């Protein structure tokens, strides 16, 4: 992790680091599948119009075009990447917008509510820094309905993510949860009609502080001192139980949408207190910058590593996907896998026991023994033991050193009489062995991810 990348914002892992990332990905996949989520993958490219129809992130989208354009190249099929042209092509910046398009196009083939998980690369033109990359992996889960989607899925998604994150080699975490209906209803109730604008200002609280947010509310949205004060009082409310409900009502604001959001958030927190105690926090400062969220919104932080930013975020979107009069409401959360793995590696929260999957190197007595060595390797691989064969019949000491450099724990020897022995190069112990029955210890059979 200390090495300098040749191109900032595009992380690449060494083999031992990649094994840690694979452990994270496998853990997430297994958890998602245990809860019945099916895997999909969408294309890396979408049209600019598709990507930008919700949210203000056009400065972060990478346009796509060929280096040399044909005179008759049609826009949207390799033509000039012009963000003003909705048919121009661009790389997706998240997995939610492409998923909404996927649902609309494949609605006739999907069973609703449709539960999907998606683990894929995305690209975003941000300034590279710790926790922020230009190319990174996300792991998303979503449930989408046809026409309607019961609110209970908002609760379930939060619990699944809490379970998935609990299985990873990371510090303690908190899902900070709010509800856009609650926030928008409150702002409307105090007379601030530009609720998306208020949300965008509140979303900057942690970056610029309450005083500057208050100035933004007054200068850009025309809020009075009292309105700005009430908006900030709402954002200051946090609780690990449902006590936030009375704290909000104590502010004296009345609005039907506010009441609806309060009830929804109360259900999420109530379920989390029971099934994921200590992992969820009602935090009424959470806004989420993208405009497509309509209800529950979530951001997740590692305790003691809050400066890293959110490692998992998302929420409810009721209007992102539609086909004519047919609506496909959904709720989903996205884990920033690359952000998590970067912190796991830099803080050594987890390490791989070796840098390669290989457990055994079959040594060569001479160049003529290569075929027999392949037979031994085939027997070992047939029983699930990852095995390599040495490429050259060098001195045994050199072959052992090669295995040591690779992180391979065992070296296999076969003498001219066909007798087999295996050496644990870590301890020096060498014993007779039969390729048809020998087994390494369970700890050495596969790469192990050990936690600090």
Tell me the CB-side half-sphere exposure of residue 330, using CA atoms within 13 A: 26
pLDDT tens-place string over residues 120-154? 999 998 888 877 899 999 999 999 999 999 999 99
The pLDDT, as a whole number, for residue 5 is 72
Task: Decide which of 4 and 438 is more confident.
Answer: 438
Q: Give domain status of residue 10, yes or no.
A: no
| 283 carries a ligand binding annotation | no
Instruction: State the greatest distance between any 2 C-alpha atoms of the chain, in Å, as a whole number.
Output: 93
Q: Are strands 312-317 and 296-302 parallel, antiparallel or unpaired?
A: antiparallel
Q: Are 227 and 190 in contact (CB under 8 A)?
A: yes
Question: Exposed e or buried b for every residue in 262-293, given b needs 16+ CB within 10 A?
Answer: bebbbbbbebbeeebeebbbbbbbbbbebbbb
Residue 424 confidence (pLDDT) above 60: yes
The pLDDT, as a whole number, for residue 86 is 87
The pLDDT, as a whole number, for residue 130 is 77
CA 114/CA 146 separation, integer angstroms: 9
Residue 341 confidence (pLDDT) above 90: yes
| 95 carries a ligand binding annotation | yes
The pLDDT, as a whole number, for residue 227 is 96
CA 322/CA 147 separation, integer angstroms: 9
Domain that includes residue 107, residue range: 15-351
Percent residues over pLDDT 90 in the chain? 81
Residue 79 confidence (pLDDT) above 90: no
pLDDT tens-place string over residues 84-116? 788 999 999 999 989 999 999 999 999 999 999
In the block, which residue shows the tokens 């700890």?
443
Residues 140 and 189 in one domain: yes
The pLDDT, as a whole number, for residue 290 is 65
Residues 368 and 339 in one domain: no
| 368 carries a ligand binding annotation | no
Residues 20 and 162 in one domain: yes
Residues 427 and 332 in one domain: no
Q: Give domain status of residue 422, yes or no.
A: yes
Number of H helices, E strands in the chain: 15, 21
User: How many structural domains comprise the chain?
Assistant: 2
Q: Give domain status of residue 8, yes or no.
A: no
Confidence of residue 20 (pLDDT cuts 50, 70, 90): very high
Question: Residues 6 or more apart from 24 whose CB is under 8 A from it?
Answer: 168, 169, 337, 340, 341, 344
Residues 421 and 381 in one domain: yes
Question: Residues 6 or more apart from 40 whose CB is under 8 A from it?
Answer: 99, 102, 116, 117, 118
The pLDDT, as a whole number, for residue 52 is 82
Q: Give domain status of residue 4, yes or no.
A: no
Residue 202: CB atoms within 10 Å: 23
The pLDDT, as a whole number, for residue 85 is 85
At 234, phi and psi to the nearest 5? -65, -45
Residue 287 confidence (pLDDT) above 90: no
Among 66-75, 185-194, 289-298, which stretch is predicted with the lowest mean pLDDT?
Answer: 66-75
Task: Decide which of 196 and 351 is more confident.
Answer: 351
Residues 193 and 155 in one domain: yes
Q: Give domain status of residue 1, yes or no.
A: no
Mean pLDDT on 27-43: 98
Residues 369 and 331 in one domain: no
The pLDDT, as a whole number, for residue 416 is 86
Q: Is 233 helix (H, G, I), strand (E, B) or coil?
A: helix
The pLDDT, as a whole number, for residue 186 is 96
Task: Decide which of 46 and 73 is more confident.
Answer: 46
Structure tokens at 322: 């539609």
| 195 carries a ligand binding annotation | no
Give the residue from 299, 321, 351 where a domain finishes. Answer: 351
Mean pLDDT over all residues of the chain? Answer: 92
Residue 377 confidence (pLDDT) above 70: yes
Residues 397 and 292 in one domain: no
What one-character-per-residue DSSP string does 281-303 give? EEETT---S-TT--SEEEEEEET
| 293 carries a ligand binding annotation | yes
Task: Decide which of 68 and 202 is more confident.
Answer: 202
| 29 carries a ligand binding annotation | no
| 115 carries a ligand binding annotation | no
Residues 333 and 406 in one domain: no
| 288 carries a ligand binding annotation | yes
Residue 82 confidence (pLDDT) above 80: no
Residues 113 and 35 in one domain: yes
Residues 347 and 365 in one domain: no
Give the residue from 320, 351, 382 where a domain finishes. Answer: 351
Residues 82 and 202 in one domain: yes
The pLDDT, as a whole number, for residue 432 is 97
Give the residue from 300, 328, 351 where a domain finishes. Answer: 351
Read off the CATH number of the domain in which 418 is found.
3.40.50.800
263: cis peptide before it, omega within 30°? Answer: no
Which helix (H) or strand (E) segment holds residue 335: the answer is strand 330-336
Mean pLDDT on 237-245: 96
Read off the CATH number of the domain in which 179 is found.
3.30.930.10
Q: Give domain status of residue 3, yes or no.
A: no
CA 418/CA 436 separation, integer angstroms: 13
């Amino acid at each position: 992790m200390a090495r300098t990348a040749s191109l900032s914002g595009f992380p690449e892992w060494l083999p031992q680091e990649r094994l840690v990332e694979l452990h994270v990905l496998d853990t997430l996949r297994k958890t998602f599948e245990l809860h019945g989520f099916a895997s999909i993958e969408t294309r890396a490219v979408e049209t600019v119009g598709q990507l930008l129809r919700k949210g203000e992130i056009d400065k972060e989208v990478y346009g796509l075009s060929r280096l040399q354009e044909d005179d008759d190249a049609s826009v949207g099929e390799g033509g000039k990447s012009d963000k003003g042209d909705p048919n121009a092509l661009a790389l997706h910046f998240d997995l939610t917008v492409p998923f909404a398009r996927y649902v609309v196009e494949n609605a006739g083939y999907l069973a609703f509510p449709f539960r999907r998980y998606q683990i894929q690369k995305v690209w975003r033109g941000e300034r590279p820094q710790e926790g922020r990359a230009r190319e990174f992996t996300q792991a998303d889960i979503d449930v989408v309905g046809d026409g309607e989607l019961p609110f209970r899925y908002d609760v379930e998604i939060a619990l699944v993510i809490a379970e998935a994150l609990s299985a990873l080699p990371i510090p303690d975490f908190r899902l900070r949860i709010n509800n856009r209906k609650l926030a928008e209803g409150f702002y409307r109730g105090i007379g601030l009609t530009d609720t998306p604008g208020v949300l965008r200002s509140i979303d900057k609280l942690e970056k610029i502080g309450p005083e500057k947010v208050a100035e933004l509310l007054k200068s850009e949205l025309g809020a009075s001192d009292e309105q700005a004060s009430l908006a900030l009082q709402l954002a200051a409310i946090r609780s690990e139980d449902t006590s936030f409900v009375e704290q909000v009502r104590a502010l004296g604001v009345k609005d039907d949408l506010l009441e609806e959001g309060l009830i929804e958030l109360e259900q999420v927190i109530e379920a989390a207190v029971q099934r994921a105690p200590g992992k969820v926090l009602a935090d009424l400062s959470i806004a989420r910058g993208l405009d497509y969220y309509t209800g529950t919104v979530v951001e997740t932080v590692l305790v003691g590593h809050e400066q890293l930013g959110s490692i998992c975020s998302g929420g409810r979107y009721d209007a992102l996907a539609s086909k004519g009069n047919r609506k496909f409401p959904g709720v989903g959360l996205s884990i920033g896998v690359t952000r998590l793995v970067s912190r796991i590696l830099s803080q050594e929260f987890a390490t791989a026991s070796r840098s390669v999957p290989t457990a055994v190197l079959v040594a060569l007595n001479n160049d003529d023994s290569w075929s027999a060595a392949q037979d031994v390797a085939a027997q070992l691989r047939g029983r699930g033991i990852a095995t390599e064969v040495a490429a050259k019949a060098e001195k045994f000491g050199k072959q052992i050193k090669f295995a040591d450099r690779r992180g391979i724990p065992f070296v296999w020897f076969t003498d001219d009489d066909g007798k087999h022995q295996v050496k644990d190069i870590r301890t020096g112990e060498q014993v007779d062995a039969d390729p048809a029955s020998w087994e390494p210890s369970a700890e050495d059979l596969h790469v192990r991810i050990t936690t600090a």
